[in-house]
Amino acid sequence: MIKPHGSDELNPLFVYDTKRREALVEEAQTLPSLLLNSAAAANAVMLGGGYFNPLTGYMNLADSLSVAEKMHTVDGLFFPIPIVNLTDDSSVKAGSRIALRDPNVKGNPVLAVMTVDAVEPVSDAQIAFMSEKIFRTLDPKHPGVETFASLGRTMVSGPIEVLNFSYFQTDFPDTFRTAVEIRNEIAEHGWETVVAFQTRNPMHRAHEELCRMAMEQLHADGILIHMLLGKLKPGDIPADVRDASIRKMVEIYFPPNTVMVTGYGFDMLYAGPREAVLHAVFRQNCGCTHLIVGRDHAGVGDYYGGFDAQTIFDEEVPAGALELQIFKADHTAYSKKLNKVVMMCDVPDHTNEDFVLLSGTKVREMLGKGIAPPPEFSRPEVAKILSDYYQTLDN
């Protein structure tokens, strides 16, 4: 199986040893507490699950600035996004041990225990520098820029030991999986070539066919459909609805035992190209050999060019930084000539009149108006689940 990023073995920060975990839970009751923001809590969950291997905790300011600028830490570890714990709490002291509390669960239970290596002030100029590098914009209307600017101006760094997976394990017991669990399941299947498909949306026909095309062209053993389960921007479809619609599509339209439907606990960054590289890092940690990167991957609005998330792998990711490879997907559309979804680059004999262009935005608009999308856009069984959800919004 493909190696994890940056190490020979996956090193999740969740404490699997029962005695050690019980001791940490007991210790946490005596420690000063830091209430995390949702972004820092999501980072802890991802660190706990092994997704951000080989990191041992939150980055310090020097590493964060270096990662933002050059996509590697001061010591040279390739990483595309700073993994940080920013706060406005000024009471944390370097050298202390603290209990990190979960902002997303009632009662703010302890999510992790942290040994604080450094507590550093972060200037507005440094926040702006990192934002511009990560998001390629400083527009406060960009949801990622807006969130990053609001997290705080004190960076608390150091190793953590994770005690649970927040609300993800309880709210999505059939879907949430750690990178450890996914690697184990891939090994159980005996899969060698595994293609990951990232989604924060329900899957319409184009997404379905992209998975099928990638699997056929790469002679893959299986597909990992891997959905984001954390915080989204207003108007995005909630995780439980996406989960139900994706499972229905897989159940009916894919051969048995060729698809794993799973989810991960992270808040969407909407960082376009940089987030695509982060997706590649943690899919390699899951044991995947390939990641589908299509049009406007992890984008929002018109902040990124349609295929910037592909070109970053050619132009900015150093050779050998990742073992995982990218499956580049072109614009997809339904071909009236061939009666199927195609990548437009594969049918040079077609004209614009030969295509029905597929768009998740268009599907959402139709569903919002109570109109059933045509089968070229969405499978009827999927459309029914989405339509039922949209009808609840009107009541």
pLDDT of residue 395 exceeding 60, the answer is no
Q: Catalytic residue among 60, 201, 285, 379, which?
A: 201
Bridge partners of 226, per DSSP, are 198, 262
pLDDT of residue 197 exceeding 70, the answer is yes
pLDDT at 391: 80
pLDDT at 7: 97
201 is catalytic: yes
Q: Sorting pLDDT into bands at 50, 70 and 90, what band is 360?
A: low
Mean pLDDT of 160-177: 95
pLDDT in tens, 67-85: 999 999 999 999 999 999 9
3-state secondary structure the chain: CCCCCCCCCCCCCECCCHHHHHHHHHHHCCCCEEECCHHHHHHHHHHHCCCCCCCCEECCHHHHHHHHHHCECCCCCECCCCCCCEECCCCCCCCCEEEEECCCCCCCCEEEEEECCEEEECCHHHHHHHHHHHHCCCCCCCHHHHHHHCCCCEEEEEEEEECCCCCHHHHCCCCECCHHHHHHHHHHHCCCCEEEEEECCCCCHHHHHHHHHHHHHCCCCEEEEEEECCCCCCCCCCHHHHHHHHHHHHHHHCCCCCEEEEEECCCCCCCCHHHHHHHHHHHHHHCCCEEEECCCCCCCCCCCCCCHHHHHHHHCCCCCCCCCEEEECCCEEEECCCCEEEEHHHCCCCCHHHEEECCHHHHHHHHHCCCCCCCCCCCHHHHHHHHHHHHHHHC
pLDDT of residue 234 exceeding 80, the answer is no
pLDDT at 72: 98
Q: Sorting pLDDT into bands at 50, 70 and 90, what band is 352?
A: confident
Q: Sorting pLDDT into bands at 50, 70 and 90, what band is 180?
A: very high
Q: Sorting pLDDT into bands at 50, 70 and 90, what band is 231?
A: confident
Q: Catalytic residue among 136, 177, 183, 200, which?
A: 200
Mean pLDDT of 179-202: 95
274 is catalytic: no
The fold of the 174-394 domain, in CATH, is Rossmann fold (3.40.50)
pLDDT of residue 394 exceeding 80, the answer is no
User: With contact defined as beta carbons under 8 Å apart, do 51 and 115 qualify?
Assistant: no
pLDDT higher at 82 or 386: 82
Range of lowest pLDDT (18-27, 110-119, 159-168, 236-245): 236-245
Percent over 70 (pLDDT), the chain: 98
pLDDT in tens, 1-57: 999 999 999 999 999 999 999 999 999 999 999 999 999 999 999 999 999 999 999
pLDDT in tens, 269-278: 999 999 999 9
pLDDT at 358: 62
pLDDT at 87: 98
Mean pLDDT of 213-225: 96
Range of lowest pLDDT (4-8, 170-174, 229-233, 300-304): 229-233
> What's the chain's average pLDDT?
93
Q: Which CATH number fits domain 18-169: 3.10.400.10, 3.40.50.720, 3.30.470.20, 3.30.750.200?
A: 3.10.400.10
pLDDT at 347: 82
pLDDT higher at 384 or 20: 20
pLDDT at 359: 65
Q: Are strands 194-199 and 118-121 parallel, antiparallel or unpaired?
A: unpaired
pLDDT higher at 288 or 199: 288
pLDDT at 338: 82
Mean pLDDT of 261-269: 94
Mean pLDDT of 130-136: 98
What are the residue boundaries of the structural domains of the chain, listed by start?
18-169, 174-394
pLDDT at 225: 97
Q: Which of 100, 226, 115 is nearest to 164 (CA)?
A: 100
